[in-house]
Structure 1
Amino acid sequence: MMVRLKRRRRYKTTDSRHHYRKYPNLIADVVPSRPNEIWVSDITYVETDEGVCYLSLITDTYSHKIVGWAVGPTLETVYPLNALKMALATIDDVTASRLIHHSDRGCQYCSNEYVSELKKRHVNISMTQSGDPLENAIAERANGILKVEWLYKMRITTRDECRSILDRIIDFYNTQRPHMSIGMQPPEAVHMQTGEQRRCWKNSWAMG
């Protein structure tokens, strides 16, 4: 079902060479048993005829639901912060205090503005300790699915069109696309559940 696609230009989305505090990894070997236990964040890029867009995603590790997202023309912190605010608006303060937010150690996630928003809601902060994608595998997988299954197959002319397309794709991803890693259910359905999910594969990285 997957076709080999022409190699595309790569854009750097992570800059961890900064003076901000970097936090330890709190989720190593943790298997989530409920929604809103661990969120993972990532930034990826989408090409348009008008120029590149940067997509910030926040994904729940239990349900694989994209709970927050934002898209913008630059890597400025405002866009990941908008995605975070979208996600935080879906939960109450008690849930937030039991949540771990995990990300890479990029300057956006370590910035004063982003960390302040997490601390304001008493969210626990976790970050990767190396550049290995496996340290943030579910976040990487979510943006990979959006690209390979939809975005790489489209020609997007403007950044405004990109935002509109992403709105439709993310809604479909959340509400209709079945995932092998959560028992061939869509994320929205799993987000209403608790307990261990039945997986339909053995390799934890290979399938979505």
Structure 2
Amino acid sequence: MPKPYPQEFREDVVRVARNRGPGVTVEQVAADFGVHAMTLWKWMRRADIDDGVKPGTTSQESAELREARRRIKLLEQENEVLRRAAAYLSQANLPKRIYPLVKELAGDGVPVTVACRVLKLARQPYYRWLDEPVCDATLEAAYRAHTLFAAHRDDPEFGYRFLADEARDAGAGMADRTAWRICRDNQWWSVFGKKRGRTKKAPVHDDLVNRAFTATGPNQLWLTDITEHATGEGKLYLCAVKDVFSNRIVGYSIDAQMKSRLAVTALHNAVARRQDVAGCILHSDRGSQFRSRKFVQALGRHQMTGSIGRVGAAGDNAAMESFFSLLQKNVLDRRTWATREELRIAIVTWIERTYHRRRRQTALGRLTPVEYETVMTTPAFQAA
């Protein structure tokens, strides 16, 4: 089953359809963006409902309703945990230990995550207890660690002496030296204290491309970069992802701010449209957005491999720079843009209508990127 189109892509198509010129039909706009006309009509109807033009349940209201139902279920589970805990601890003939209760609740359908959160327990020691029930000494040490962690989480500026005071008030007796040892082992230091150990550097990948911008099939090598352009309302930033095989822009994201979220969203949009991306190499420059923890984690979730060029070497990502050069000449520098919305519509229209489906490229045998993928790949690899 194909994945749904990215939300940002839907909004862009609706913008273009709403701002289409005289004589341009919705069906023509749908064909330019490679979607079915009925699908575009549904997107426009949903957008009218969200904007209050037509009656109906908005997307936000639907999301709020789903969140409310999820929250109600979660509250019911938390209430069940508290009710069972009160009954469990009131029985004098049972040991005052919580892990057996968590196990009983899990057997009754209450997630371990919910039970541990309500009872203020860490899950990892619980799972270790399931594998091998611990002795009293180990359990007492775990309880001390739980208490210190709870105090550190509530007041991260406290040092180990203050944390020990908080733990003793909570009933976990220990010496200051014991609290220091536990905090040292778990790296629970005060945010105002001196740095401990080596400072971790931002993750940086090796250059796996070495300016060899070639690929024998789709989803083998992608390139990405960020460009900006000024409007009357301020700058607008575009992060695009390009498949070297067909030179197609498989994903992009446009925003008023150049944060790591811009690069992560562009990557997610590309994966949503291409799907089978495991093992794909994504090459970029050394921008902070592409070295951020969120972006590296996104690559890991999609089983992709990162690649980064050298410092100050624009040629290491020349194939992506050539696309931005075309965009600069054909769209950005053609006129003065009063609003970000106006420029956004122009960018997505040129990418989806002109660059993908009308601009023939010599490197592709005088075919467009969409035509080249249709001819050179099987339907299973074609874009959504």
Task: Flag whether TM exceeds 0.5 (same fold).
Answer: yes
* SS of the residue 1:129 aligns to: coil
- Structure 1 distance, partners of 2:205, 2:360, is 33
Q: What's 1:189 paired with?
A: 371
Q: Which structure carries more strand by proportion?
A: 1
Q: Report if aligned partners of 2:250, 2:274 keep a CA contact under 8 Å in 1.
A: no
Shift of 1:91: 2.5
Counterpart AA for 2:346: I
Larger radius of gyration: 2
Q: 1:192 to 1:133 in 2, by over 3 A?
A: farther
1:1-208 aligned at under 5 Å gives the runs 19-28=201-210, 29=212, 31-92=214-275, 95-171=276-352, 172-194=354-376
Question: For residue 80 of structure 1, what is the amino acid of its counterpart?
Answer: A
Following superposition, the deviation at residue 192 of structure 1 comes to 3.3
Cα deviation for residue 125 of structure 1 reads 1.0
SS at structure 1 position matched to 2:277? helix
Q: CA shift at 1:134, angstroms? A: 1.4
Q: For structure 2, list consecutive stretches of 5 or more residues without a partner in the other structure.
A: 1-199, 378-384
Q: Give the CA deviation at 1:31.
A: 2.5
Matched residue of 1:97: which SS? coil
Q: What is the root-mean-square deviation in Å for CA atoms of aligned residues?
A: 1.7
Distance 1:162 1:149 in 2: 12
SS of the aligned residue for 1:181 comes to: helix
- For residues 127 and 77 of structure 1, what CA distance do their matches in structure 2 show? 16
Inter-partner Cα distance in structure 2 for 1:136 and 1:193: 27
C-alpha distance in 1 between matches for 2:213 and 2:252: 24
What is the alpha-carbon distance in structure 2 between the residues aligned to residue 61 and residue 30 of structure 1?
6
Once the two structures are TM-superposed, the CA of residue 30 in structure 1 deviates from its matched residue by: 5.9
- The answer (yes or no) to whether the contact 1:43–1:55 under 8 Å persists in 2 is yes
Q: Deviations over 1:150-172 (max 9, x none)?
A: 22112211111121111101112
Percent of aligned pairs sharing the same letter? 27
In the alignment, the residues of structure 1 paired with residue 316 and residue 216 of structure 2 have an alpha-carbon distance, to the nearest angstrom, of 19
Offset at residue 65 of structure 1 (A): 0.5
Cα distance in structure 2, aligned partners of 1:192 and 1:133: 32
Cα distance in structure 1, aligned partners of 2:371 and 2:263: 25
Choose 178-187 or 113-122, whichever is displaced more. 178-187
Alpha-carbon distance between aligned partners in 2 of 1:137 and 1:192, rounded to the nearest angstrom:
26
CA contact (8 A) 2:331 2:346 kept: no
Which residue identity is paired with 1:26?
A: L
More helix by share: 2
Alpha-carbon distance in structure 2 between the residues aligned to 1:104 and 1:62: 19
Contact 1:57–1:143, Cα closer than 8 Å, also in 2:
no
Q: Is the Cα–Cα contact under 8 Å of residues 58 and 84 in structure 1 kept in the other structure?
A: yes
Q: Distance in 2 between matches of 1:138 and 1:192?
A: 22
The alpha-carbon deviation at position 146 of structure 1 amounts to 0.7
Counterpart of 1:70 in structure 2: which amino acid? S
Is contact 1:34–1:193 with CA below 8 Å preserved after alignment? no
**What TM-score, normalized to structure 2?**
0.44
TM-score normalised to the size of structure 1?
0.79
Question: CA 1:193–1:124 in structure 2 vs 1: closer, same or farther (change >3 Å)?
Answer: farther
CA distance in 2, matches of 1:104, 1:86: 20
